[in-house]
Structure 1
Amino acid sequence: MQADNAAATTTSHDDSRYLPIGEHGLIGDLRTVALVGTNGTIDWYCCPRFDSPSVFGSILDADKGGSFQLSADTPATTKQFYFPDTNVLITRFYADDGVGEIQDFMPIAADRLEADRHRLIRRVTCVRGALPFHARVAPRFDYARQPHKVRQDGSRTTFESESLCLALSASVPVETDGRDAWSRFELREGEYAVFALDRVGGDITPRGCPIEEAEDEFAATVGYWRNWLSHSRYRGRWREVVHRSALTLKLLTYAPTGGIVAAATTSLPEQIGGGRNWDYRYVWVRDAAFCVYALLRLGFTEEAEAFMGFLSRNVGRDSNHGAGPLQIMYGIDGRSDLPEYELTHLEGYRGSAPARVGNAAVDQLQLDIYGALVDSIYLYNKWGTPISSDRWEEVCTLVDWVCGNWDQPDEGIWETRGGRKNFVYSRLMCWVAIERAMRMAAQRGLPADIPRWRETRDTIYRDIMRHGWSDTLQAFVQHFDEEVLDASILMMPLAKFVSPTDPKWLSTLDALGRGLVSDSLVYRYDPEVSPDGLQGPEGTFSICSFWYVEALSRAGRLDEARLAFEKMLTYANHLGLYAEEIGHTGEQLGNFPQAFTHLALISAAFHLDHALG
């Protein structure tokens, strides 16, 4: 088992300057997001988009990154929760003299295509007694690389940098030193104060935010999220956590294009002090396609349609050096160029350098994306709206390419940087791409080269059975003709490649349980046995843990599945959010929150509910 290899790493940095990754909530407006700590500080916010340079980035450098602090100005304990069935975040302060709270939210633009206006509202109130508060707005534009100027006009304070201009409107007096702005004020029971941060400049005119307007925007934002969530068809045992996951996936959607980002952040480490720090603020075809599957399961078809439109605008672009009709990832606007570089002036979260922007994996070949994508189109055709003739042509283009290229070695689902190999999971998902396309063609009588597709599909199946099985391990393995376990193989029964009760699969499930599972938590693979071109260990991978739950459920091992699922729920943060990984002592690691994890939770809950009856 790999657990002993993942011991916590100590660093010489002052960790007290950083909240744990999991001590954050998320707010957003379907264009960008902000992370709000349990201490009331916004320490991650990019404007105007998910992948824009940060304005507040203290999560990557507590001293240089910039933040928006807002808290009780007296010793207090805090608690954080979401306003029920919404993405409006409440942070409460409990002090000797009273109780106060911050209501953080971003109003949602009525026009889905609106991409320029952005507003972040922080509504402060005292609910009992009386409390002093302190606010400090310290933007550091362009990942703390661009200087800025400050000017004041009445209740408005404007921060101007070369590339971005933000205006702070406040209902309480604000002072400035020419770089930052701050305010100290006291509220008594029932009183409110409002801070609104708006993008301004160009055609975007400044606007104020009086207390009454903030109240109206609060009500409208609550109404938007509750109306959206009301379309969910899920009525199972884990409704609260499933709906929180759905709300999180929706927050990671870029409404103007329909793209869905893999996570809200960049460079949060998979190991404290390590270098496995990546930028996940882009649209991975695989991750987004799985998101579509999860949302469709719950009855949300609008997001699926928007993502299909995103793909239609990008299928066939020959931007990946001839590696295929699709790149593995795109910018949220569909751009294909995502150069990776390091922010060497930032120390990284708790000293976990380097902090990175862009992602060099964009040029990798990952054949599994075609299976994820075609499967999501198949499900949209089945549960949403029958796909158009143009979209069917796009599917045929993808599947014909897969038929000619499925046997290439690739970098695989985990984006290893140790060279291309014949990954079993990549072959599996090529099989899925062809098999799902054949189903669509048969169901609707659509034109296709069925003889070629069938021959290729069957060849892949036999190749996996011959070269992807280890007699020594009595298990399916990571890549052909080797003896390494990989948790991605858990997708075999989920993708209907093997029966969930096939003896070979049950043997594989047992082998994975012995080799990669620790207290329901699942490692992707053992990097000591299967070098991936990177240094250091990592935590358990949460999507794999939920795949494990679903595989147990499908195999009829319901007591084990339910226990594993309930254990996984204890590893969520206080709001039900998950990062990419779980560390040695149960802490959240990696970018946060992670779409992959939340979509797998939805699928596991759905299938476990069904199996339990």
Structure 2
Amino acid sequence: MALPIEDYALVGDRGTAALIGKDGSIDWLCLPRFDSPACFAALLGSPDNGRWLLAPADLDGVTTSRTYVGNSAILETTFTTPTGVLVLRDVMPEGDGRADLVRTIRCTEGTVRVRHEWVVRFDYGRVRPWVMRQHVGGQEVIVATAGPDKLMLRGPRLPHANDGRHDDEFDVSAGEVMTFSTTWVRSWRDLPEPLPFDDRIEATRAEHEQWALHCVEDIPHAQLVRRSLLTLRLLTHAETGGIVAAPTTSLPEDFGGERNWDYRFCWLRDAALTLESLLAAGYTDEARDWRDWLLRAVAGDPEDLQIMYTVDGGRQLPERGLPHLAGYEDSLPVRIGNAAVDQRQTDVLGEVMIALEDARNAGIAETTQSWALQRSLVENLAEHWDQPDNGLWEIRGDLRHFTHSRVMVWVAFDRAVKAVEQHGLDGPVERWRTLRDQVCEEILEKGYDAERGTFTQHYDTRELDASLLNISLVGFLPGDDERMLGTIRAIEEDLMHHGFLRRYRTQTGVDGLSGGEHPFLACSFWLVSAYARAGRREDAHALMDRLCALANDVGLLSEEYDVDGDRMAGNFPQAFSHLTLVQAALALR
């Protein structure tokens, strides 16, 4: 059975990422890319679905502590056992085009009995590979091959074959160090020669530390903000510039229920919000990379714009279940792909236009192609903005006129107008101004409940939605406008659960799914920002402190938090949670 979600940590090489438990087991890894099939999938099944374990053989009486090395993505786990102390270091070296996961064990006190298991199962834990021993560079290695994939295990002591897995137990004593590595390669290619690990790992650490130096310092919870930014960087594909929403699929929002989604793709909205956070924190290179990714991904007819793409900008994300996996805590179905790719979400272009405006304001010059694309997308929106949509939360029920979606339509036209007025770009600015005013009037007429003094989730309901907090955050209304203050109060009364916000009331049936869910962390971070803009700074700081206390021991956050069970829920780590944390800290500053 997999560990609680909060007991995992993340290492990655900006091509893919691995989840490593406090027990020393790598329970999730997709190679060579975030959205590739997993070769270690115990997270969603059992150890028989693939994992890589290095840890004390007997965990009775063992205490465990973890930390990232400085401002890097190098993870160190310390096991203090009754007989000695074992330190496990995990890292995926960056920047050399290889997909290596390197694990080093070092005994610092006494003697520790170590358990080593290497269980490879390709295609999300379904396919047992053909495994054999070979020699590469004068060294014996273990090679697992199936279909297009090949994994190679190197180390000073290789585990033994044992009924479809490889395992071993051995003692390490004070001063002993052993390094193991797993390397992925296409099955038809030769096995790569060994490379020295120490130099590559040091170069990776130095690059992480240098990158972190640019982070703003005069900010609440500065260390957690820095870790959030480093996590967002890990979720950004170095070669393509695509930003994934999370490195996992099907970690449940409702334990034992059906709210299990694949987040290993690039949502335009999430990526744009990530970009806004990075720019606000002082990072500009990522903005250029993401803009270039956007241009490639959405190139073509604006009518064909999707809300999400694969890491390389691909458009095919068919959703299907994996019945051979039991699911995290029996939460079924386990899904890969995402059917929301075919939804209409009118808010997306507004987020994209905010991010691209922020890039302009940060001094990143538009190219002829980049502005032409934006202008084309805005003109297309002008023809279709009044249609109902699935909304921010990817409602799988009936299409609605969601108030948040309409606000983001206003944003798209507003930022297009500002591009002309403030940056001298060309476009039909009078038409855009007229549409902006028209959308504003409609929102205030149909999306606002004057009797209750609050905006509503959509035009045909009196229900609320935490996304309405964005009304002040995107500049549609001032944060201290009475309509905004009333909306904040109503959301507090209706959606607050033990001090944190739910997205909306699932029992109303608007999302078309069974079951419920837990407070959504991004919504509570939005409330921090809304408090700050409303002048409720004491409330903002208090909520920010409570939210930051939910991060696990290495500073990572999931999508939701089960307050009753005091545990994380949903995909992990979640870009949306980390980027809104950064935005909230900046709002408080």
Corresponding residue of 1:156: 141
Q: Is 1:129 the equivalent of 2:113?
A: no
Alignment map for 1:103-502 (pairs within 5 Å): 103-110=89-96, 114=97, 117-153=98-134, 154-177=139-162, 179-200=164-185, 201-203=187-189, 205-208=191-194, 213-318=196-301, 324-502=303-481
How far does the alpha carbon of each residue in 1:73-120 deviate from its partner, in whole angstroms, 9 at most, with x for none?
A: 23322111111101111111011111111100100024xxx4xx2000
Q: Is the 8 A contact 2:466 2:491 kept in 1?
A: yes
Going from structure 1 to structure 2, the CA distance change for 1:483 and 1:259 (only over 3 Å counts) comes to same
Deviates more, 1:286-295 or 1:155-164: 155-164
Q: Is the 8 A contact 2:398 2:510 kept in 1?
A: no
Alpha-carbon distance in structure 2 between the residues aligned to 1:183 and 1:472? 70
How far does the alpha carbon of each residue in 1:538-585 deviate from its partner, in whole angstroms, 9 at most, with x for none?
A: 011110010000000111101100000000011111111111111132
Q: Is the 8 A contact 2:225 2:585 kept in 1?
A: yes
Alpha-carbon distance in structure 2 between the residues aligned to 1:190 and 1:298? 42
Q: CA deviation at 1:63?
A: 4.6
Indicate the SS of the match to 2:355.
helix
Alpha-carbon distance in structure 2 between the residues aligned to 1:411 and 1:64? 39
Q: Is 1:28 the equivalent of 2:12?
A: yes
- Which residue, 73, 81, 88 being the options, matches 1:95? 81
Deviates more, 1:129-138 or 1:145-154: 145-154
**Counterpart amino acid of 2:288?**
E
Going from structure 1 to structure 2, the CA distance change for 1:184 and 1:215 (only over 3 Å counts) comes to farther
**Counterpart amino acid of 2:235?**
L
Alpha-carbon distance in structure 2 between the residues aligned to 1:198 and 1:246? 27
Going from structure 1 to structure 2, the CA distance change for 1:205 and 1:152 (only over 3 Å counts) comes to closer
**Counterpart amino acid of 1:566?**
D
Going from structure 1 to structure 2, the CA distance change for 1:466 and 1:530 (only over 3 Å counts) comes to farther
Alpha-carbon distance in structure 2 between the residues aligned to 1:195 and 1:577? 26
Q: Is the 8 A contact 1:234 1:298 kept in 2?
A: no
**Counterpart amino acid of 1:59?**
L
Q: Return the TM-score normalized by structure 1.
A: 0.93
Going from structure 1 to structure 2, the CA distance change for 1:138 and 1:346 (only over 3 Å counts) comes to same
Deviates more, 1:478-487 or 1:288-297: 478-487
Q: CA deviation at 1:493?
A: 0.5
**Counterpart amino acid of 2:565?**
T
Alpha-carbon distance in structure 1 between the residues aligned to 2:272 and 2:152? 37
Indicate the SS of the match to 1:36.
strand
How far does the alpha carbon of each residue in 1:392-415 deviate from its partner, in whole angstroms, 9 at most, with x for none?
A: 111101111111111110000000
**Counterpart amino acid of 2:100?**
R
- Which residue, 599, 602, 606 being the options, matches 2:582? 602
Q: CA deviation at 1:530?
A: 4.6
Q: Is the 8 A contact 2:118 2:159 kept in 1?
A: no
Deviates more, 1:278-287 or 1:579-588: 579-588
Q: In percent, how many aligned pairs have the same letter?
A: 38
Corresponding residue of 1:548: 527
Q: CA deviation at 1:277?
A: 0.3
Structure 1 stretches of at least 4 aligned residues deviating more than 3 Å after TM superposition: 201-205
Q: Is the 8 A contact 1:108 1:224 kept in 2?
A: no
Q: CA deviation at 1:129?
A: 1.8
Q: Is 1:62 the equivalent of 2:42?
A: no
Alpha-carbon distance in structure 2 between the residues aligned to 1:313 and 1:455? 31
Q: CA deviation at 1:171?
A: 1.5
Q: Is the 8 A contact 1:469 1:481 kept in 2?
A: no
Corresponding residue of 1:11: none
**Counterpart amino acid of 2:192?**
P
Alpha-carbon distance in structure 1 between the residues aligned to 2:300 and 2:4? 40
Q: Is 1:37 the equivalent of 2:16?
A: no
How far does the alpha carbon of each residue in 1:251-285 deviate from its partner, in whole angstroms, 9 at most, with x for none?
A: 10111110000001000000110000000000000
Corresponding residue of 1:5: none
- Root mean square deviation, CA, Å: 1.4
**Counterpart amino acid of 1:127?**
T
Alpha-carbon distance in structure 2 between the residues aligned to 1:134 and 1:269? 30
Alpha-carbon distance in structure 2 between the residues aligned to 1:72 and 1:431? 57
**Counterpart amino acid of 1:587?**
R
**Counterpart amino acid of 1:99?**
V
Alpha-carbon distance in structure 1 between the residues aligned to 2:116 and 2:286? 37
Corresponding residue of 1:588: 568
| Structure 2 residue runs without a partner (length 5+) | none
| Structure 1 residue runs without a partner (length 5+) | 1-16
**Counterpart amino acid of 2:469?**
L
Corresponding residue of 1:533: 512
Q: Return the TM-score normalized by structure 2.
A: 0.96
Q: CA deviation at 1:235?
A: 3.1
**Counterpart amino acid of 1:451?**
E
Deviates more, 1:232-241 or 1:403-412: 232-241
Q: Is the 8 A contact 2:141 2:158 kept in 1?
A: no
Indicate the SS of the match to 1:44.
strand
How many residues were matched structurally?
581
Alignment map for 1:6-25 (pairs within 5 Å): 17-25=1-9
Q: CA deviation at 1:34?
A: 0.2
Q: Is the 8 A contact 2:220 2:588 kept in 1?
A: no
How far does the alpha carbon of each residue in 1:465-490 deviate from its partner, in whole angstroms, 9 at most, with x for none?
A: 00000123220010014201000000
Alpha-carbon distance in structure 2 between the residues aligned to 1:349 and 1:552? 36
Indicate the SS of the match to 1:571.
coil
Corresponding residue of 1:47: 31
